[in-house]
Structure 1
Amino acid sequence: MTKIVEAAPRLTPAADGQTFRDAMARLASPTHIVTTAGQNGRAGLTATAVASVSDAPPTVLVCIEGNSRTLAAIAANGVFCINTLPGGFADLAETFAGRRGIEGEARFASARWGRLASGAPVLEQALAAFDCRLIAIRDVATHRIVIGEVLALGGAGQGAGLIYRDRRFETV
C-alpha cells in the first residue's frame, strides 16, 4: 500500500517588519486605553496587546513600545489601569493613539474618568477596568511587557466591544 503524503503549505518567512505588521493587522484585537496617574501626572495610550497572566493573584500584562512617554509615566507612578473600550469609542481610541494631535492631559477631556484603588484614571464607560499596581517591566525587542497585580475591577461590563482589525476600529 502506498501512503500519500501531501506537501505542507509553503510558509513565508517573516523577513521584514512590514510583512509581519501586515499579517498582524489581520488579527482582531480588543481595544484598551491604558492610563496612569501620580507624581508624574496623568498619561495614557491605546493598546491591543493585553492579556491575563494569572488569577491567583489576579495579574495582567500589556505590551508597550519602549520609547513611550506613557510607559515612562507608568514606571515612575508605579500604577496603571487597563480600560477595555466599548463600541462607539473609536474617537477616544484614536485620540489616545496619538492620531488626533492631542497630547498629555488634554487627551482626558473628551470622556468621563473616575478612580479606583490605585488612583489611575478609570473610564466610567469601560466594559472592564483592571486597576493595577506595577510589579514588573520586561524588555523584549522594541517593546516592554508591563505586568501588574490587579488591585480593583471596574467597568460597566455590558454592550458591544471595540476591536482593532485591518488598521481600523470596529464595533463587535
Structure 2
Amino acid sequence: MNAIHHPKGRKGHVTSGEFTRAMGAAATGVTVVTTEGVAGRYGLTVSAIASVSAEPPLLLVCVNRRNPCVAAMTQNGRFAVNILSETQEDVARIFSGKPVSGEAYDFTRHGWELGEHGMPLLTDAAAHFECEVDTIHDAGTHRIFIGRVIAALRGETPPLLYSNRSYGRLSPLDEGPE
C-alpha cells in the first residue's frame, strides 16, 4: 500500500501546485458549458460541475473569472451543460483551448443544435441540461453559477472521464451476479 506523505512544519498552508497535484487524483466527468444570447455564443470545457438539488433541480458550475465565458453567462442569464460522451475527447480539447488541430472554441467542428430554450447543445452528448442562472458567487479565482435546470435529456452513450491530466472511459470493476 502506498503511503501519503504529509509535510511537517507547515500548518494550514497549501500551495496552488500542491492543491492541483492532489486534485489530479479526482476522477470527474467532462462537460462543455455553453451560452448564447445578447452577449454572444461561448463554450468552455469544465470539469467543476455538480448537482446541487433535485427539488428544485439545480446545477453548480465553476468557471475561472478571467474567461470571457463568465461575462457572457452572466449577461445572457442562461447556460447549458453538455456532458460529453466517451467518444468526444476532441470536443473537450477544442473547448479547453487546446485542439489537436484546427481552431480553439470552434462550434463548426462538431454537431450542435439549439435546445428548446436557445442554448447550444452538443449532438450525441451523454446528457444535456439547459439552465437559467439562479445565483452567482465569487470564490477565489472562479465564479460559481448555480443554475435552475429548465430542460434535461439523457443520451444513450457513456460519459467521458478525466483524471490525472488524461481522458478515459468507464470500465466496470465487476460484472456481479446476474
TM-score normalized by the length of structure 1:
0.87
**Where do 4+ consecutive residues of structure 1 move more than 4 Å?**
none
Note closer, same or farther for the CA distance 1:14–1:89 as it changes in structure 2 (3 Å cut): farther
| Partner Cα distance (1:165, 1:10) in 2 | 20
Q: Is this contact kept in 1: 2:33–2:43, CA < 8 A?
A: yes
List per-residue Cα deviations over 1:57-83 (Å, max 9, x = no partner).
111011111111111110111110000
Residue aligning to 1:72: 71
Partner of 2:160: 162
Structure 1 gaps of 5+ residues are: 1-8
Which amino acid letter does the alignment assign opposite residue 160 of structure 2?
Answer: L
- SS of 2:135's partner is strand
Partner of 2:143: 144
Q: Give the aligned partner of residue 103 of structure 2.
A: 102
Distance 1:96 1:155 in 2: 21
1:31 alignment partner AA: V
Identity of aligned residues (%): 35
Does the 8 Å contact 1:122/1:154 carry over to 2? no
Matched AA of 1:11: H
Shift of residue 160, structure 1, vs aligned partner = 2.3
How many residues of Structure 1 are paired with residues of Structure 2 in the alignment? 161
Offset at residue 10 of structure 1 (A): 6.3
| TM norm structure 2 | 0.84
Match of 1:131 in 2: 130
Q: What is the aligned partner in structure 1 of residue 175 from structure 2?
A: none
Task: Provide Cα deviations, 1:7-32, integer angstroms capped at 9, x if missing partner.
Answer: xx863465211111011011110000
2:110 paired with 1:111: yes
| RMSD, aligned CA | 1.7
C-alpha distance in 2 between matches for 1:94 and 1:14: 32
Aligned-partner Cα distance in 1 for 2:13–2:119: 38
Distance 1:166 1:14, change over 3 A: farther
**Structure-2 change in CA distance of 1:120 and 1:15 (3 Å):** same
Which of 6, 9, 24 aligns to 1:11? It is 6
Unaligned 5+ segments in structure 2 are 171-178
Tell me: CA distance 1:18–1:10, structure 2 relative to 1, closer, same or farther (3 Å): closer
Tell me how far apart the structure 2 counterparts of residues 55 and 160 of structure 1 sit (CA, whole Å): 22
Distance 1:14 1:83, change over 3 A: farther
Residue deviations 1:103-130 (CA, integer Å, cap 9, x gap): 45xx111111122232110112111111
Residue equivalent to 1:56: 55
Structure-2 separation of matches of 1:54 and 1:160: 23
The answer to which of 114-123 and 28-37 deviates more is 114-123
